[in-house]
Structure 1
Amino acid sequence: MSYALFDLDDTLVDAKAALRAWAVDFAAEYVSGIEDAASDVFALVDGAANWPGFVADARARYGMTAPDEELMAHVAAVYPGKFVLEQRVRRGLAELRAAGWRLGVVTNGSTLVQQAKVDSVGLRPHLDAVVDSEAAGHRKPDRRIFEIAADELGVELGPGGWMVGDRLDKDVAGGAAVGLRTIWISQGDPLPAGSTPPTHIAASITEAFAIVQASGPPRQS
């Protein structure tokens, strides 16, 4: 059975744009006395390991007194709504499913936030599985998260499947380690020396869809 797994952030959806939009709201609500507070918040969260890490860093930097639960609730309630599913992505997924491909998302991040993103942009009807690292208990590139995704799709890991993403260290290296064909969404960047080489390099998600669509199942020797 032909199948493809996709990363979520900066692969199927533009996480940087959504994060910048969310930072404006967060700064207006919680930050004062800092010039260009939204940019400051964006830089802080972009450099954090995860959302709890950002909350701890933000509390120290901005002297916030709101409880962690309130700050995390703001993230969960506001951030996913800043995402947009471009028509080219919706169309590409629909065309793959119409051609018989089984499709899944494998994403690192919290269950609350990642699953809310999927629902906010209307991705779920186009997918057969959505696996996030918190629920899985493993993060890309750990092979276990790919095994869980394969189980949910009802497929076996191997050259019949694809892993598509923007991260060489997580998406490409992780996918290659479990035998998947891989596509790196390069955004036009050159392949860094020493990186796990992907099966294909695509400048955009649209190009990646075309590669998957044209590939079909692997040839049997």
Structure 2
Amino acid sequence: MKHRLFLFDLDDTLLDFKASEKLSFVRTMQELGLRDGVDGLFQQYQAINTALWKSFEAGAVSKDFLKVERFRKTFETKGIELDSEAASRLYLESLPDTVVLIDGAQHVCETLAAFGEVGVITNGVESIQSRRIASSGLSKHISFVATSESSGYAKPDVRFFEYATKMARSFVKDKTIIVGDRLDADILGANRFGIESCWFNPSRLANESEALPTYEVASLHEILPSLREFAAA
């Protein structure tokens, strides 16, 4: 295997954020006294949250604004009078307790850590992501965690990847690969930074973007065979 530095996105690549997100959202609403219509409210929240994250990645809004605004806007849209700041706090407190691993995450991180160095690259909230990684049991295989919060830049900004690779023990471009589920952040970022990438695409979506992954897998279990096969070719 030619690669020695493996940079993994966290949410929906190693950790099932969709499952964790819903569990935390439901728990938050229950603590705020809301029990009816939570599923519909969650769908509204997801759409608003996704749009705000895209704005954050484009540099249009701050992360502190995003954390509260997604709840304020959700409540406003549905005409619900709840404290958006309290909702944000309760939700973020809950996330580290609702960690769900993607199938194969433990094995792939353990195996690749024996070949080289595994790092996590994430646009998520630093304190929350660190606690979630600790809860996941993956910490012993991960050398470092690079967040947009600590770097000052978000994926796919090249400056984020420059920051992340400086955290590694050793960085050689042609021996580094990014694994992530998002074409517009992980794969496009890898393209711009000039390193290889592996698109984790469990839903087998069509790639209609400008981002060009080096490899594509539908399961984390496919990563090791793919990297070994191409290294031997």
Fold shared, TM-score > 0.5 on shorter chain: yes
Corresponding residue number in structure 1 for 2:42:
41
Corresponding residue number in structure 2 for 1:174:
189
Q: Is the 8 A contact 2:133 2:139 kept in 1?
A: yes
Summarize the alignment of residues 1-221 of structure 1 with structure 2, pairs less than 5 Å apart: 2-30=4-32, 32=34, 35-48=36-49, 49=52, 50-60=66-76, 61=78, 62-65=80-83, 68=85, 70-86=86-102, 88-98=104-114, 100-156=115-171, 158-212=173-227
Normalization by structure 1: what TM-score? Answer: 0.85
Normalization by structure 2: what TM-score? Answer: 0.81
Shift of 1:101: 1.4
* Structure 1 residues 60-83: Cα deviation after superposition (integer angstroms, max 9, x where no partner): 3421147x2x43331232112111
Choose between structure 1 and 2: higher helix proportion: 2
| Structure 2 Cα separation of the partners of residues 51 and 212 of structure 1 | 37
| Structure 1 Cα separation of the partners of residues 163 and 230 of structure 2 | 24
* Structure 1 residues 27-66: Cα deviation after superposition (integer angstroms, max 9, x where no partner): 212253x742144135314531242322332453421147
Counterpart amino acid of residue 22 in structure 2 = R
Shift of the 59–39 alpha-carbon distance from structure 1 to 2, 3 Å rule, reads closer
Shift of the 72–194 alpha-carbon distance from structure 1 to 2, 3 Å rule, reads closer
Root-mean-square deviation over aligned CA pairs: 2.4
Shift of 1:171: 0.4
Shift of the 203–27 alpha-carbon distance from structure 1 to 2, 3 Å rule, reads same
Corresponding pairs, count: 214
